[in-house]
A and B are shown apart, each in its own frame.
Chain A
Amino acid sequence: MNIALLIIQSLLIPAFSPLIVGVIRKIKAKFQNRQGASVFQPYRDLMKLFNKDEVISENASWIFRYTPYFLFALTVAISFGVPTISTDASLSYLGDFLVFVYLIAFGAFFLALSGLDTSSAFGGMGSSREMTVAALTEGGFIFSLFSVSLLTGKSDFPNMIGALSSMPVSDIIAPVLIAFIAFYIVLLAECARYPFDNPATHLELTMIHEAMILEYSGKRLALIEWAAANKLLIFISLAANIFFPWQVANTSEVVPVIVSLLLFAVKVFVLSASVAVLESTIAKLRFFRLPDLLMTSLVLGMISIVLTII
């Protein structure tokens, strides 16, 4: 394994995640006939927040104080297991799909706890909603990745990508495409995007993720926002490379890595644009309609498994 490439690959996610958020916002602005802020605005927002003082409730415990650091560290740690440009430079034990699912769940658990910690009404409401959505998402999340794992006989992302890219496309297209749709629904739910949540709202009737972080300000808010952006890019990277694994480099040589990096950038842009288009063209679902969509993800995952096994 090439340690330098491992570090570069893993730092790609925290380095470029605010850019992806900026790109999505820019596309959404264009859909609304607005000029929109620069794609680099999220970086400026983070800088501004890092330089601001913060207010912490006197009732807040260590959970509230340390959750932002924990969440940010968690997303950076996860990015060491996500092969973005080369399968040769990822930590396979961190990239095991079950480890990944439960690390994500661990982060959601701490975020929900921090929402409850200050005893604000909005925080509790957001945490309750987040846990409901997280519990319903888990089935589709595991099954969509499990079907690829069954197909390849591997459980870690680097080996899954390697095995999948060497299989005949006609043998894998049906289960992989269906699993991808299941995973895409999970991506929207886990990253608090439409139709599950509106990332731009602070309306108490609808917010989920924003309700949990309402009490945060300054540096801690910056870290949480950055961690959320990291999470979005991690999910997009997985959707891009697990379900469309062709041309992902399996060595540390310069040319294949550069080709893989360029293709990765294209795939990430297409997926980010799809999120933006979706957010501009559909309405947010009522909270009680969300289980239907998450059930769809679960059953699509199961159909994919059936197609894989039989």
Chain B
Amino acid sequence: MIVNSLYFLETLLFITVIVLQLMNESRTSVMIYAAQSFIVSLMLIIFSFQENSSGLFISALAMLAVKVVIMPIFFFKLIDRQKLKFATTSYLSVPMTLIVIMLIVVLANSSVFRSLTSMPTEYSSAIPIALSGILASLFLTINKRGALSQIIGILTLENCIVSFASIIGLKQTLVLELGIIFDIFVWSVIATVFISMMYKHFGSLNITQITHLKD
């Protein structure tokens, strides 16, 4: 039952990365990011019960508070303040984006990553899909034009790395886990402040329109 629910959550995580690629609305993208963080937190909670680890449970709760509640609030405030309704257009068209994602899935399942995907863990069948999630979120960061969506891309990458590490059994001490979550929180606050400054200066967050960096 636990194994099945972890496979289910890992698949859902991958699907949220695909949906983020297709979303154009900033607010919806933030909501999907919150849902994705909730999935990762849920995975950690399941792992914590399975391994009877209170440290992991605490870090999962901290993740839930920071990534599912606090950070989306920051992003929503930013969106409302700067009126960033549509700021997440991508370089590639939707069909091309989807074809690239499909190629990423093929790559993640190919012999290139065989050493990673054939690791002997309890959840070995979920490794290729977790790896596909990491590569697809890297692609999400590259493919999007808007600064906000690039930030969401990086945060998605971090979520996918956390889930991948959990699946292959890499868990850190509680202090380190909390430190990472704190780091991400501070980074997000700085990024939102930085975005506000960029918007004030250039009047846009579309990085293709920010052409006066020399000024």
- A binding-site residues for B, Cβ under 8 Å: 169-171, 173-174, 177-178, 181, 291-292, 295-296, 298-300, 302-303, 306-307, 310
Interface size on B, residues (CB 8 A): 27
Contact call A303/B105, Cβ cutoff below 8 A: yes
Chain B, Cβ-Cβ closest to A181: B15
Asked whether B106 is an interface residue with its Cβ less than 8 Å from the other chain, the reply is yes
Nearest CB in chain A: distance from B101 CB, A:
7
Contact call A170/B101, Cβ cutoff below 8 A: no
Contact call B128/A310, Cβ cutoff below 8 A: yes
Give the residue of B95, B106, B109, B125 whose beta carbon is less than 8 angstroms from that of A171: B125
A-B pairs with the 3 shortest C-beta distances?
A: A299-B98, A310-B109, A292-B94
Given A295-B95, A302-B102, A310-B128, also A174-B11 (CB < 8 A): yes
Interface centre among A173, A177, A181, A295 (most CB of B within 10 A): A173
> What is the CA–CA distance of A181 and B98 in the complex, to the nearest angstrom?
14
> What is the CA–CA distance of A199 and B110 in the complex, to the nearest angstrom?
44
8 A-B interface contacts by CB (under 8 A): A174-B11, A177-B11, A295-B98, A296-B98, A303-B102, A306-B109, A307-B109, A307-B128
Asked whether B4 is an interface residue with its Cβ less than 8 Å from the other chain, the reply is yes
Contact call B99/A173, Cβ cutoff below 8 A: no
Given A306-B106, A307-B109, also A299-B10 (CB < 8 A): no
Q: Which residues of B contact A307 (CB under 8 A)?
A: 105, 109, 128-129
Nearest CB in chain B: distance from A257 CB, A:
26
Contact call A170/B11, Cβ cutoff below 8 A: no
Q: Which residues of A contact B94 (CB under 8 A)?
A: 292, 295-296
> What is the CA–CA distance of A169 and B7 in the complex, to the nearest angstrom?
9
Asked whether B86 is an interface residue with its Cβ less than 8 Å from the other chain, the reply is no
Contact call B98/A173, Cβ cutoff below 8 A: no
Contact call A170/B95, Cβ cutoff below 8 A: no
Nearest CB in chain A: distance from B89 CB, A:
13
Nearest CB in chain B: distance from A298 CB, A:
8
Contact call B105/A177, Cβ cutoff below 8 A: no
> What is the CA–CA distance of A168 and B18 in the complex, to the nearest angstrom?
25
Q: Which residues of A contact B126 (CB under 8 A)?
A: 170, 174
Contact string against A for B residues 72-94, beta-carbon threshold 8 Å, 1 for contact and 0 otherwise: 00000000000000000000011
Nearest CB in chain A: distance from B190 CB, A:
34
Contact call A170/B4, Cβ cutoff below 8 A: yes
Contact call B101/A169, Cβ cutoff below 8 A: no
Nearest CB in chain A: distance from B13 CB, A:
11
> What is the CA–CA distance of A263 and B11 in the complex, to the nearest angstrom?
24
Contact call A299/B101, Cβ cutoff below 8 A: yes
Asked whether B151 is an interface residue with its Cβ less than 8 Å from the other chain, the reply is no
Q: Which residues of A contact B22 (CB under 8 A)?
A: 292, 296
Chain B, Cβ-Cβ closest to A172: B7
Known A-B contacts: A170-B125, A298-B98, A303-B102. Give 13 more (CB < 8 A).
Answer: A170-B123, A174-B7, A174-B129, A291-B95, A292-B93, A296-B98, A299-B95, A299-B101, A300-B98, A306-B105, A306-B109, A307-B129, A310-B106
Contact call A299/B3, Cβ cutoff below 8 A: no
Nearest CB in chain B: distance from A163 CB, A:
18
Q: Which residues of B contact A310 (CB under 8 A)?
A: 106, 109-110, 128
Nearest CB in chain A: distance from B6 CB, A:
8
> What is the CA–CA distance of A298 and B99 in the complex, to the nearest angstrom?
10
Q: Which residues of B contact A306 (CB under 8 A)?
A: 102, 105-106, 109
> What is the CA–CA distance of A303 and B95 in the complex, to the nearest angstrom?
13
> What is the CA–CA distance of A188 and B150 in the complex, to the nearest angstrom?
31
Asked whether B187 is an interface residue with its Cβ less than 8 Å from the other chain, the reply is no
Nearest CB in chain B: distance from A3 CB, A:
37
Asked whether B58 is an interface residue with its Cβ less than 8 Å from the other chain, the reply is no
Interface centre among A169, A291, A307 (most CB of B within 10 A): A307
Nearest CB in chain B: distance from A116 CB, A:
29
Q: Which residues of B contact A295 (CB under 8 A)?
A: 94-95, 98
Q: Which residues of A contact B110 (CB under 8 A)?
A: 310
Q: Which residues of B contact A170 (CB under 8 A)?
A: 3-4, 7, 123, 125-126
Contact call A173/B7, Cβ cutoff below 8 A: yes
Nearest CB in chain A: distance from B201 CB, A:
33
Chain A, Cβ-Cβ closest to B123: A170
Contact call A177/B101, Cβ cutoff below 8 A: no
Asked whether B49 is an interface residue with its Cβ less than 8 Å from the other chain, the reply is no
Contact call A169/B105, Cβ cutoff below 8 A: no
Chain B, Cβ-Cβ closest to A173: B7
> What is the CA–CA distance of A310 and B8 in the complex, to the nearest angstrom?
18
Nearest CB in chain B: distance from A168 CB, A:
8
Contact call B4/A173, Cβ cutoff below 8 A: yes
Q: Which residues of B contact A298 (CB under 8 A)?
A: 98
Given A169-B4, A306-B106, A310-B128, also A174-B10 (CB < 8 A): yes
> What is the CA–CA distance of A298 and B98 in the complex, to the nearest angstrom?
9
> What is the CA–CA distance of A169 and B123 in the complex, to the nearest angstrom?
12
Give the residue of B4, B7, B11 whose beta carbon is less than 8 angstroms from that of A178: B11
